Amino acid sequence: MKNIFVLACSLAIFASCADKNKETEKTEETIQTPADSLPKTDSVAVAPVEATQTPEVDTKTAAKGDEVIEVTPAKEIKVEYASFGDKILADKALSKEQMFQKYKSMKKGDTIAVKFKSKINSVCKKKGCWMKMELPGQAESFVRFKDYGFFVPLNADSQEAIVSGRAFVDEISVAELKHYAKDGGKSQEEIDKITQPKITYAFQADGVLISK
């Protein structure tokens, strides 16, 4: 009888342990929930941010409010000339700088046929029978007219002129220099200071053009 009682108690204890094990397993199953069973959250797609591009500005037009400005080339100014002596053309005339280089390469007795353009510094105030034309620096070309066949206006000072003829290096005597000084309106005091002959850049013109 005693053995039966012990056996019954053992069975009861075993059954009680088995129930506890089952409850423990259920608890572990509840805690260890698979990842797939977790509630899903909505994912938000974030669009990539594009770099802001500043449009290029055309500075040529933006400065004027995108207004297109047409530039008209400057027209060439046509100079009108009065003609004296033989008829000559205004084209292909040397500049005063080019003419001066010609003179510098010449010696007394040399003569060249040439045409050049420069400003008239002074004119004979009696008859207009000679004029002095500007060369670089303080140099001048002393221009006379072939066979005194024509003269130029007495008020042609500072006008632009083109002369065609013969250029040469000449020596002007003291008497001639005083004569030209008197014709040029120089004072007697200035004339008396002329005591030496002068080497000059001479020119005998057969045709002259003077700007109007």
Q: Enter the tokens of residue 48.
A: 């990539």
* H or E element in which residue 73 lies: none
Dist CA 173 CA 153 (whole Å): 26
**Residue-level pLDDT at 5:** 52
Contact 193, 66 (CB under 8 A): no
Look up the pTM and report it.
0.58
DSSP structural state of residue 204: E
- Count of other CB atoms within 10 angstroms of residue 70: 4
Kindly tell me if the per-residue pLDDT of 81 is higher than 70.
yes
Helix, strand and coil percent figures for the chain, each rounded to 5? 30, 25, 45
Handedness of CA 52, 55, 56, 62 (dihedral sign): negative
How far CA 190 is from CA of 24, 100, 126, in Å, comes to 141, 27, 18
Choice between 115 and 29, residue whose per-residue pLDDT is larger: 115
